[in-house]
Amino acid sequence: MCGIGPFVTIPLMVTAFGGPQAVIGFVAGAVLALCDGLVWAELGASMPGSGGSYVYLRQAFQYRTGRLMPFLFVWTAMLFIPLIMSTGVVGFVQYLGYLAPHLGQGAGDLIGLGVIALVVLLLWRGIEHIARITAVMWTVMIASVLLVIAAAASDFSPHLAFTYPAGAFDLTSDHFWLGFAAGLTIGIYDYLGYNTTAYMGAEIKDPGRTLPRSILLSILGIMAIYLLLQIGTLGVVDWRRMTDPHDIAATSVASAVLEKTWGKGAADTVTVLILITAFASVFTGLLGGSRVPYDAARDRVFFRPYEKLHPKHRFPALGLATMGVITAVGFLIGRHTDLATLIQLLTTVMVIVQALAQIVALTVLRRRQPDLRRPYRMWLYPLPSLLAFAGWCVIYGYADRNSPGRHPIEWSLAWLALGCVAFAVWARLEKVWPFGEKEISEEYLAGTDPDVAPVS
């Protein structure tokens, strides 16, 4: 969860709100993540299979639309997962600009594409070699976060952090709610990853207990880290600097914090650590993301070529290659528009088929499969799911206004329509609904308790 996100989105959040009240965005993002996390917790604990969302959507919507919804989830995941990774590469180039201030647009583009190629090359091998690389990168990431927090605490000014512009909390202003929607989008982007364990449900011991705990505790832990970063940064760097695109605080705010508190040498050192963190976030994201179409194809929910493994190293080669290419395209989009637009696009793409559909799936399964083993039930049901649904609708409804001229809603609908066409082609080849009989499977309803049965 904690990758390059907070290091590049703090200035975006401040710009969206127009002042240090931007902390509201991180808090609102945490509330949405918690409410949505409760949806994931119940579904993941009840149906701990590999694949996460497509398992839940397959179980809930199989009665009326066959495999349409899980197929569309994988289709959209093939876009929004690599777009998330491309934001990490954009952040990498931004922070590289601190060390090389005269880096041009073309050179930055080439370096970013080279980083993506290197990530794919490193992942083009067996999983046993990747574990050691990931451990080193994780250590560097933790060090970079803690150093920025410590530096901010050493020279913190409450006056900078808590002096707000006029009308900062005017709830009757359209400007406030437009900023709130933009901040909520950025906030939930920063928390993405709280659902990762649900994608690996079949490989987790005691999933009925482990999945809910991992989801909820990770959100609370990351919320504490992000709030310390946000408030600490605002207490060192004047927020007005973060809204100036020509100021280093707008592109490399953590470097600006270190430079002001501990000097240029410390800033250069931590910037290098942040570059490694950015690289690590892309590395681990593509590692996990490439498995989504593989798992789906293996379960006959996506195109069969994606279930083939590399003949020697046994990794899903086509899924990795496809997501690598889309990551490169997303990176170029972000470089030639802006990072906020890229974040808006990826969140808009995932809203309908993953976020909203999954909330509906929770209600459908409670009605369709009332006897499903549920070791964890959502607290205060259905209030959290309703709040999550409303939050995602706010993100989607304000998307075009927060990216004027870029039309993220229209692009998301076009991608969804193209996915429906792709499903029709796939369903015809596989001879499944609507070109064959519906296949109703309720294996989790009749299956053994994974918290008791031995894990294979």
Give per-residue pLDDT as tens, 365-415: 999 999 999 999 999 999 999 999 999 999 999 999 999 888 999 999 999
Is 430 part of any domain?
yes
**443 in a domain, yes or no?**
no
Residue written as tokens 């609708």? 393
Instruction: Examine the pLDDT at 293 and tell me if it is beyond 70.
Output: yes
Amino acid letter for position 74:
V
Residue 452 pLDDT: 59
| Cα-based distances in Å from 447 to 65, 268, 293, 374, 443 | 23, 55, 25, 12, 5
Q: Classify residue 374: in a domain, yes or no.
A: yes
- Residue 136 covered by a domain: yes
Confidence at 132, pLDDT banded by 50, 70, 90: confident
pLDDT, averaged across the chain: 90
- Does the pLDDT value for residue 198 go beyond 90? no
Is the pLDDT confidence value at 29 over 90?
yes
This model's pTM is above 0.85: yes
d(C-alpha 162, C-alpha 160), whole Å? 6
Domain count, the chain: 1
| 444 within domain boundaries | no
CATH number of the domain encompassing residue 160: 1.20.1740.10
Give the C-alpha separation, 416 to 242, whole Å.
35
Is residue 315 within 8 A of residue 123, CB to CB? The reply is yes
CA distance 335 to 341: 10
The span from the CA of 241 to the CA of 238, in Å, is 6
Note the Cα 62 to chain centre separation in Å.
Answer: 27
Helix axes 339-350, 317-336, angle to 10 degrees: 130
Residue 89 lies in a domain: yes
pLDDT higher than threshold 80 for residue 191: yes
Structure confidence at residue 127 (pLDDT):
62
Residue 21, domain extent:
5-437
Look at residue 309 and tell me if it is in a domain.
Answer: yes
Q: Is residue 446 part of a domain?
A: no
